[in-house]
Amino acid sequence: MNTIHIDVAVIGAGTAGLAAYRAAKAAGKSAVVIESGPYGTTCARVGCMPSKLLIAAAEAAHELRHTAPFGVHVDGDIRIDGREVMDRVKRERDRFVGFVVRGVENIPAEDKLVGQARFADNTTLQVGDITVHASRVVIATGSSPSIPEPFKVFGDRLIINDDVFAWDTLPRRVAVFGPGVIGLELGQALSRLGVHVRMFGHGNSVGPLSDPAIRDYAKAAFQSEFYLDPHAKIEHMARDGDEAVITYVNLAGETVTERFDYVLAATGRRPNVANLGLENTGLELDARGVPVFDATTLQCGKSPVFIAGDANNILPLLHEAADEGKTAGENAANYPNVKPGLRRAPIGVVFSDPQIAMVGKRFADLKPGTFVTGEVSFEDQGRSRVMLKNRGLMHVYADSETGRFLGAEWTGPRAENIAHTLAWSVQQGLSVAQMLEMPFYHPVVEEGLRTALRDAAAKLAA
Ligand SMILES: Cc1cc2nc3c(=O)[nH]c(=O)nc-3n(C[C@H](O)[C@H](O)[C@H](O)COP(=O)(O)OP(=O)(O)OC[C@H]3O[C@@H](n4cnc5c(N)ncnc54)[C@H](O)[C@@H]3O)c2cc1C
């Protein structure tokens, strides 16, 4: 039995864990990073990067099919070679993973432990036959897909996002459950790559949107392209041979039975805390079994334990995991002198088409009667029409009293870029009037944003 004494033990070598390890070392402490799975991070291996690679292939196919309105004709059939598509996805993915793995290889061997970490008490971890006595611990164990029990009937026909990126070629028919961020991105991409896709949700939600008008617009935009029922009535689910069989009431009210090669469960993710042995610690746990923590310092109670990244489920996004990892690592190193870390303005993007974005406060978090909503439709927006990307609706929210810009929800072209302009404005605490003093080039999609801001300004003045 080996025993290690260390200042900071980090559980998980993902984005948050690696940032925490580096921050603890930079603060002059001894540290180890413990990993139970393959190195390379969720983002690079099975998350942000392979999903964007699949979407890029889908966009290429979609653009080719939609050249005719420009007077540009692609003669003959468009051929999508599933093997080549998946080969590029995996090749480029491996390249991104390689960068991360090389970074991990540069970490001294004595600072890395391989195995599943479990708490024996607040500051003692068991990793296989190694006992780690750490003065402080950072939990950075990420999250995993949460799969409702009834889906297990599909056996190995049931897949999660990780499985998609392991495909050697594209299947023919996929049922996607969950039109959230992951379901929408992957489902639309597969549909554009010629896969027969049926997307089912419940509770009418579409992506992360909370503004009903934007949600309805997005729903209609996606429904014009592939089958999406955000409030599906599923009557029966079964496995028959190599097929998943689903009986559902379709949008026309008919009961239909369809067969699929795979059922993709994109039904949400939950923090990886179940097998951590948290019951052996003195930490207070919430209803999901996650330690109760301070969202600014990431400290769990007054303990020397910190929690960062998807494991704490505040904002399960890559840049948040990196920021939180740094905060947790610094605070672990300086414990008990902890301080709030950097929290940037909220920003979220769905790489669907049209894209979806949210910045600042969500519509659902605003108190009715305290704000005005500026609106723009991208359907007649100049630059968007020029590019034939004129699908979208944007709402910007401003404080009725101060005119301060609070946030926005929208679906539309180039949302990934506009989202940054808006998130920076939220973080700078700008008012709508100040934002309208900024330059807007012509002709650009941002002129649509200006129209929404002008609408908000008029309502503030009324
Ligand atoms: C399909 C998909 C698309 C995404 N797209 C985007 C996007 O476009 N933009 C964006 O910002 N975010 C995106 N995300 C989210 C982003 O990938 C995550 O927010 C981020 O990777 C979380 O990093 P993390 O360090 O918290 O977790 P991870 O990178 O998952 O690291 C956690 C690590 O902990 C290890 N571990 C778990 N338990 C233990 C244990 N007991 N002992 C030892 N090791 C353990 C795991 O093996 C894992 O390596 C996407 C996610 C998915 C799934």
CATH code: domain of residue 158: 3.50.50.60
Residue 85 has pLDDT above 70, yes or no: yes
Using the mean position of ligand 1's atoms as its centre, give its distance from the Cα of residue 143 in Å: 6
On whether the CB atoms of residues 264 and 272 are closer than 8 A, the answer is no
Query: Is residue 6 located within the same domain as residue 118?
Result: yes
User: Would you say residue 209 lies in a domain?
Assistant: yes
Number of domains in the chain: 3
Ligand 1 proximal residues by C-beta, below 6 Å: 11-17, 34-37, 41-43, 47-48, 51, 116-117, 140-142, 161, 182, 272, 275-276, 309-311, 316-319, 321
Residue 128 domain flag: yes
User: Does 362 share its domain with 416?
Assistant: yes
Give me ligand 1 centre to Cα 25, in Å. 22
Contacts of residue 323, defined as CB under 8 A and 6 or more positions apart, other chains included, come to 19, 341, 342, 343, 344
pLDDT score for 263: 98
Find the mean pLDDT for residues 69-90: 96
pLDDT of residue 1: 61
The average pLDDT across 30-46 equals 98
Which residues make Cβ contacts (< 8 Å) with residue 181, sequence separation at least 6? Answer: 207, 208, 348, 350
Q: In what order do the strands lie in the sheet with 173-177?
A: 158-159, 262-265, 173-177, 196-200, 227-229
pLDDT in tens, 136-165: 999 999 999 999 999 999 999 999 999 999
Position 86, amino acid = M
Mean pLDDT (whole number) for 76-98: 97
373 vs 411: CA distance, rounded Å: 15
435 and 295 co-located in one domain: no
Domain match, 231 and 373 both:
no
Q: Check: CB of residue 424 under 8 Å from CB of residue 345.
A: yes
Q: Which domain holds residue 23?
A: 2-145+270-334
Asked which of 250, 267, 284 is the last residue of a domain, the reply is 267
CA 45 to CA 34: how far, in whole Å? 18
Kindly report the average pLDDT of the chain as a whole number. Answer: 97
Q: Whose CA is nearest to atom 22 of ligand 1?
A: 310
Question: Could you tell me the distance, in angstroms and rounded to a whole number, from the CA of residue 216 to the centre of ligand 1?
Answer: 30
Confidence class for position 248, pLDDT limits 50, 70, 90 = very high
> Can you give the CATH number for the domain in which 416 is found?
3.30.390.30
Q: What pLDDT does residue 245 have?
A: 98
140 and 288 part of one domain: yes
Cα angle 15, 272, 312; round to 5: 65
CA of 124 to the centre of ligand 1 (A): 24
Closest CA to 393 of 409, 407, 404: 409
409 — pLDDT class (breaks 50, 70, 90): very high
> In the prediction, which pLDDT does 355 show?
98
Question: What DSSP assignment string belongs to 71-87?
Answer: T----S-----HHHHHH
- Of the candidates 290, 313, 334, which is a domain's last residue? 334
Nearest to 430 by CA among 404, 451, 412, 459: 404
In a domain, 260, yes or no: yes
Q: Which H or E element spans position 349?
A: strand 347-350
> Within a domain: residue 110?
yes
- pLDDT tens, residue by residue, 325-363: 999 999 999 999 999 999 999 999 999 999 999 999 999
Nearest to 124 by CA among 138, 112, 137: 137
Q: What pTM was computed for the model?
A: 0.97
Could you write out the DSSP letters of every residue in 89-138? Answer: HHHHHHHHHHHHHHHHHTS-GGGEEES-EEEEETTEEEETTEEEEEEEEE
Name the 3-class secondary structure at 287.
Answer: coil
Are 131 and 164 part of one and the same domain?
Answer: no
The Cα–Cα gap between 35 and 18 comes to: 10
Q: For a ligand 1 pocket test, name from 39, 55, 141 the mutation site with the most ligand atoms within 8 angstroms of its C-beta.
A: 141
> Does 358 lie in the same domain as 254?
no
Average pLDDT rounded to a whole number, residues 276-295: 97
